[in-house]
């Protein structure tokens, strides 16, 4: 086990994460709209991966391993057959989030790096296309240091003073396409969840919450690389991230804070597998709004969700 980090060590990691995500973002965006090899990971036309995802991940892994040989890179693509023992620092990487958008020429995607310390996100850098100078932006954070784009400090959208807990009409929120399969929505909340959108990139949504573009984001059940960076960006921008409580931690309201992955972190293969396998639904935004929304969504039992989805897609 390495020594717990201090702020200077974290600042160095944050700075390097920005450098790496910039390099990967440059590479990925240079291929946007061009030819690429596309495969369906599920073999059914869905869950796409391209040679650009793989090249982006290799670039990130090579840069990190050269600079921090004691750290681990856990990326979405090309999982090793034998997972190594977990290191204290894990760079949790989505080399392109929103691959289906990317393949279809829709410029809503992101490159995401969340650095975990014993399972908890402590540094983050997210690259997104953006209509600004250069055509992109990098959001970054380190634990306790705030979330930033350049020298602009980010803040989640401040709830309306009149009704601080309610999603506001005319303000954007994102919900998954599978919302009605996953949750029973309280009758009064139907049609009152803000102006809902579905973007196809969980990382982008979390980043837009941190940036104050969205009042909240509710994701589907997504992987650690979809959430690692976003959890930290949102928290450092003054928000919180909740997830439905598991059977082991029933609490009033049925939701708990999602602050990281693998609560019983050990430097073992099991921990690496647990982080790779973890899937969480995340609800992110200003605390008042997020708690309000969470109380209006009752999770459907998983077996029932699967049966309903099978019927629907038959």
Residue nearest to ligand IPD according to CB distances in the complex: 202
CB of 186 to Ca ion, least distance (A): 29
Non-local (6+) Cβ contacts of 56 within 8 A are: 24, 27, 28, 95, 96, 111
Compare residues 222 and 229 and give the one whose CB is closer to ligand IPD: 222
Question: Tokens standing for 121?
Answer: 């996100």
Helix (H, G, I), strand (E, B) or coil at 95: strand
Q: What is the closest distance, in whole angstroms, from the C-beta atom of residue 17 to ligand IPD in the complex?
A: 18
Are β-strands 195-197 and 172-174 bridged in parallel, bridged antiparallel, or unpaired? parallel
20 DSSP β-pair partners = none
Cβ 95 to Ca ion shortest distance, Å: 6
Q: How far is the CB of 5 from ligand IPD (least distance, A)?
A: 28
Q: What is the Cα 299 distance to its own chain's centre? A: 20
Among 29, 173, 201, 243, binds ligand IPD (CB under 6 A): 201
Cβ nearer to Ca ion, comparing 57 with 193: 57
Determine if 222 is a binding residue for ligand IPD (CB under 6 A).
Answer: yes
CB of 200 to ligand IPD, least distance (A): 5
Q: Where are the beta strands (DSSP E) in 53-187?
A: 72-75, 89-97, 110-117, 120-129, 136-142, 147-149, 152-153, 172-174, 183-185
- Its sign, for the CA torsion 205, 208, 213, 216, is positive
205 lies in the binding site for Ca ion (CB under 5 A): no
| Span interacting with Ca ion, options 57-65, 168-176, 218-226, 273-281, rule CB under 5 A | 218-226
What is the smallest separation between the CB atom of 198 and ligand IPD, expressed in angstroms? Answer: 8
Q: x/- site string to ligand IPD, residues 55 to 84, per CB under 6 A? A: ---------------------x--------
Q: How far is CA 89 from the centre of its chain?
A: 18
Beta carbons of 147 and 230 less than 8 angstroms apart: no
The angle subtended at Cα 202 by Cα 166 and Cα 107, nearest 5°, is 110
Tell me the closest approach of the beta carbon of residue 207 to ligand IPD, in angstroms.
12
Q: Among the candidate windows 117-125, 155-163, 174-182, 220-228, which touches Ca ion by CB under 5 A?
A: 220-228
**Contact set for ligand IPD, span 92-111 (CB under 6 A):** 94, 97-100
**Does the footprint of ligand IPD cover residue 86 (CB under 6 A)?**
no
The residue (of 168 and 199) whose beta carbon lies closer to ligand IPD is 199
- Distance in angstroms between the alpha carbons of the first and the last residue of the chain: 50
CA distance 47 to 223: 13
| List 129, 200, 244, 285, residue binding ligand IPD (CB under 6 A) | 200
By CB under 5 A, residue 97 contacts Ca ion: yes
Nearest to 216 by CA among 248, 269, 147, 230: 230
């Amino acid at each position: 086990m390495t020594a717990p980090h201090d702020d200077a060590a974290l600042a160095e990691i944050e700075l390097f994460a920005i450098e790496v995500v910039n390099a990967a973002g440059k590479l990925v965006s240079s291929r946007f709209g061009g030819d690429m090899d596309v495969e369906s990971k599920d073999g059914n036309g869905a869950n796409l991966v391209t040679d650009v995802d793989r090249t982006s991940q290799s670039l990130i892994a090579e840069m990190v391993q050269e600079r921090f040989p004691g750290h681990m890179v856990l990326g979405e693509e090309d999982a090793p057959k034998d997972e190594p023992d977990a290191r204290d620092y894990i760079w949790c990487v989505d080399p392109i989030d929103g691959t289906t958008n990317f393949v279809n020429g829709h410029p809503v995607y992101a490159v995401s790096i969340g650095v975990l310390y014993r399972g908890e996100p402590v540094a983050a850098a997210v690259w997104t296309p953006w209509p600004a100078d250069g055509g992109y932006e990098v959001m970054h954070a380190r634990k306790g240091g705030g979330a930033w784009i350049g020298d602009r400090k980010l803040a989640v959208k401040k709830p309306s003073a009149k009704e601080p807990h309610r999603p506001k009409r005319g303000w954007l929120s994102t919900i998954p396409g599978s919302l009605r399969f996953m949750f029973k929505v309280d009758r009064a909340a139907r049609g009152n969840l803000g102006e809902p959108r579905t973007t196809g990139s969980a990382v982008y949504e979390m980043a837009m919450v941190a940036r104050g573009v969205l009042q909240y984001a509710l994701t589907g059940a997504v992987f650690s690389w979809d959430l690692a960076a976003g959890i930290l960006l949102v928290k450092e921008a003054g928000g919180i991230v909740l997830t439905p409580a598991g059977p082991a931690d029933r609490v009033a309201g049925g939701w708990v804070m999602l602050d990281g992955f693998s609560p019983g972190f050990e430097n073992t293969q099991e921990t690496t597998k647990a982080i790779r396998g973890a899937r969480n639904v995340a609800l992110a935004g200003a605390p008042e709004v997020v708690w309000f929304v969470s109380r209006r969504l009752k999770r459907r039992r998983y077996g029932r969700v699967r049966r309903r989805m099978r019927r629907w897609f038959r």
